[in-house]
Structure 1
Amino acid sequence: MNCLDTLKLIAKKNGGIINNKEAEKYGISRAILSKLCIDDKLQRITRGQYILSDDMQDELLSISMRSKLFVFSHETALFLHGISDRTPFEHTITAPSGKVPSKAIQEECKIYYIKPELFELGKTKLKTPAGNLVPCYDLERTVCDCIRSRNKLGTETFLMALKLYAASPKKDLNKLNSYAKQLRVANVLRQYLEVLL
């Protein structure tokens, strides 16, 4: 099997992304990866990550593979849940306080920080538009995050998220109330939901 066939297998296993560390396990050096980029067989998407030249990049998967220290949240979570029809201009992540994502992630994403004990609350996995699973907060946590950050999100995005959540058949008001208490937004949530429900 030649190296390109091996890279195709790696890409297939990893949602289209070839990580240089994984390629090295199969005896494919960084020099070979660079040569394949020059020959237009591969395309470098960021440091240490490549895709086959004829593949489309799954940006969310690419970002999520760079670190386990964050979860997609806020506008990006709304998009992944189908609550927002707009692809965010800048992806939004949440990281535990005291953990700083890499410079590349900082340049690509808007970052919110949360106490480490609340970081895992509502964490799940959702499919990207390309069909790959990425870490994301569930719908109720996302609504609470939007309430916590309503001044930064913008009124239109915030109110649209609440209206669509209130109309969603998937909503779990008991879970929402539990999260709102833990994230200290229960009073604000009640004010908005009294109007919407």
Structure 2
Amino acid sequence: MSGQALEAGIEEHQIEGVTVRVYCLAKTIADCFKFRNKIGLDVAIEALRDCWREQRCTMDEIWHYAKICRVQNVIRPYLESLE
């Protein structure tokens, strides 16, 4: 990964006085679909369903990061099934 795919969606959190940089949930879901061949499509789908069920991010946020990670054609049918 490089460029915007690497830098987009980074959040900074304080953990025991140390600043830790982590990706937001929507970016993590897009990454799961990007690396579905390594982690498994079932893991990516489960992450998407859990996020949607718990209302932790919106479709627009997921779609935004799907475009950055260039997985919008892969993730589209799964997003449509949730609506």
Give the structure-1-normalised TM-score: 0.37
Structure 1 position 136 matched with structure 2 position 22: yes
Aligned to 1:168: 54
> Relative to 1, partners in 2 of residues 1:133 and 1:172: Cα closer, same or farther, differing over 3 Å?
farther
Q: Quote the Cα distance in structure 1 between the aligned partners of 2:14 and 2:43.
A: 22
Q: 1:175 to 1:124 in 2, by over 3 A?
A: same
SS in 2 for 1:195: helix
Runs of 4+ in 1 over 3 A off after TM superposition: 130-133
| Structure 1 residues without counterparts, runs of 5 or longer | 1-113
Identity of aligned residues (%): 33
Who is 1:116 aligned against? 3
Secondary structure of 1:171's match?
coil
- Secondary structure of the corresponding residue to residue 184 of structure 1: coil
For residue 189 of structure 1, the aligned residue among 75, 78, 83 is 75
- 2-side partners of 1:146 and 1:127: how far apart? 25
After superposition, the Cα gap between the structure-2 partners of 1:131 and 1:170, relative to the gap in structure 1 and judged at 3 Å, is farther
Amino acid in structure 2 at the alignment position of 1:167: R
Q: 1:166 to 1:119 in 2, by over 3 A?
A: same
CA contact (8 A) 1:166 1:193 kept: no
CA contact 2:33–2:41 (8 Å) conserved in 1: no
Whose RCO is larger (CA < 8 A, sep 6+)?
A: 2
- Count of aligned residue pairs for this structure pair: 83
Q: CA RMSD in A?
A: 2.2
Which residue does the alignment assign to 1:147? 33
1:159 aligns with 2:39: no
| Higher helix proportion | 2
